[in-house]
Chain A
């Protein structure tokens, strides 16, 4: 199972806060984060890496990006 964090339409630091919250409090091994700017994509990837998570895939989705993270 994967949890989806939908941070589209939000500007930084909001997507980072939501990603960190899910990493710290969520239960699913996989987390999918949806963002709509390059800044949010880069920041979410850094946020995940800083918590020891693995970034499995970053793919374009619609106007933005879909980032698939696995808990470390």
Chain B
């Protein structure tokens, strides 16, 4: 398929990224993104917050600042109380307010299955757009949130997660990537994305494809929700994690010491995951220190970009 484009499209569908970017003038570009999904937590207010944090994240991952948002709602009006919808939307509005973003419209339809999400618009300087491409040899990879939300959500469905853990993971998914993005803008960053449905290794594979470079991932340094490793070993793994593995297996090489449950977590689909940042190797330590100072305590260096062989991910 040939996707339409013109001279002002900085990032379009031909090179699908976290969001589209359109140049308005020499010093201003528009970022547009949309995302919606079925509930991933039982509490409607928290679902609203998580959906908003997730939709905003694509703008942060492009190096931009979100400004306005529109609701997308599909609601089973005959089966569900409208109060549920009110709580979802309130969760979204509160999360947007935290991000300094205004809700200025939306659209709702009747549907058998509840869905909620947002379309978000933001701005960025055209020269400061961050995409998944443009990895540089010698860069270090930094991840800002721990992995394992998909596995823990499966354990919650199985009734095996504690209330404490459920609360912890809910807060994690609802946490904005705003502060991480703000800090990142002070460093020499070559590429960035956010970790969502494809899991860490799936999103890393997207960054590596076409780069001519390879990546070494230090699996023990990857921040992980500790319980997710236990649940993975018990087989509480969502289907998406297996699909992610199957899709990218051919370009990934695991060292023998990387146990299977850790491999599973590296493929675990995340909801509203952290930023995956490729930063100049000399600045990586300073970036992680700044993130930790700002309260992003899970931030860690998790890998390095190598000049070759092309398109390979080594997990050690």
Task: Tell yes or no: B180 within 8 A of A by CB.
Answer: no
Task: Say yes or no: B235 contacts A47, CB within 8 Å.
Answer: yes
Among B66-74, B150-158, B292-300, B302-310, the stretch that binds chain A is: B150-158
A12 CB within 8 Å of chain B: yes
The CA-CA distance from A52 to B195 in the complex, in Å, is 34
CA distance A52 to B157 in the complex (A): 24
- Per-residue CB contact flags for chain A residues 16-27 toward chain B (1 = under 8 Å, else 0) read 110110000000
A15-67, CB < 8 A from B: 16-17, 19-20, 37-39, 42-47, 49-50
Q: CB-nearest residue of chain A relative to B230?
A: A50
A9 sits at the interface (CB 8 A): no
Known: A37-B239, A38-B242, A39-B237. A13 touches B232 (CB 8 A): no
Residues of the A chain whose Cβ atoms lie less than 8 Å from the Cβ of B236: 12-13, 16, 43
Considering the chains assembled together, what is the distance between the CA atoms of A57 and B235 in angstroms? 17
A-chain residues with CB within 8 Å of residue B158 when the two chains form the complex: 13, 16-17
Interface centre among A12, A19, A47 (most CB of B within 10 A): A12
- With the chains together, A49 CA to B259 CA distance in Å? 14
User: Which residues of B are found within 8 Å of A19, using beta-carbon distances?
Assistant: 235
Q: Which of A11, A37, A38, A45 contacts B235 (CB 8 A)?
A: A45
Inter-chain contacts of B155 with A (CB < 8 A): 13
CA distance A49 to B232 in the complex (A): 12
Q: Kindly list chain A residues whose C-beta atoms are within 8 Å of the C-beta of B234.
A: 16, 20, 46-47, 50
A12 touches B233 (CB 8 A): no
- The answer to whether A46 touches B237, judged by C-beta atoms less than 8 angstroms apart, is yes
| CB neighbours of B157 from chain A (8 A) | 13
Which chain B residues border A17 with CB–CB below 8 Å? Answer: 158-159
Q: Which residues of B contact A45 (CB under 8 A)?
A: 235
Residues of A contacting B154 in the complex (Cβ-Cβ under 8 angstroms): 12-13
Kindly state whether residue B126 has any CB partner on chain A within 8 Å.
no
Q: Which residues of chain B in 227-251 are interfacial with respect to chain A, using CB atoms and an 8 Å cutoff?
A: 232-239, 242
Complex alpha-carbon distance, A47 and B236, angstroms? 8
- How far apart are the CA atoms of A50 and B157 in the complex, in Å? 19
Minimum distance in angstroms from A46 CB to a CB of chain B: 4
- Considering the chains assembled together, what is the distance between the CA atoms of A4 and B83 in angstroms? 44
Most buried by A among B233, B234, B235: B235
Q: Is the CB of A16 within 8 A of B242?
A: no
- Chain B residue, CB-CB nearest to A20: B234
Q: Once the chains bind, are A46 and B235 in contact (CB under 8 Å)? A: yes
The 8 closest A-B pairs by CB, nearest first: A46-B235, A43-B235, A47-B235, A13-B158, A39-B239, A50-B234, A16-B235, A50-B233
List the interface of chain A (C-beta within 8 A of B): 11-13, 16-17, 19-20, 37-39, 42-47, 49-50
Using A12-B235, A13-B157, A13-B158 as known contacts, list a sample of 11 further A-B pairs with CB atoms less than 8 Å apart, ordered by residue number in A: A12-B154, A12-B237, A13-B235, A13-B236, A17-B159, A38-B242, A39-B239, A42-B237, A42-B242, A43-B236, A46-B237
Can you list 14 contacts pairing A with B, beta carbon distance less than 8 Å? A12-B236, A13-B155, A13-B157, A13-B160, A13-B235, A16-B235, A38-B242, A39-B238, A42-B235, A42-B237, A46-B233, A46-B234, A47-B234, A49-B233
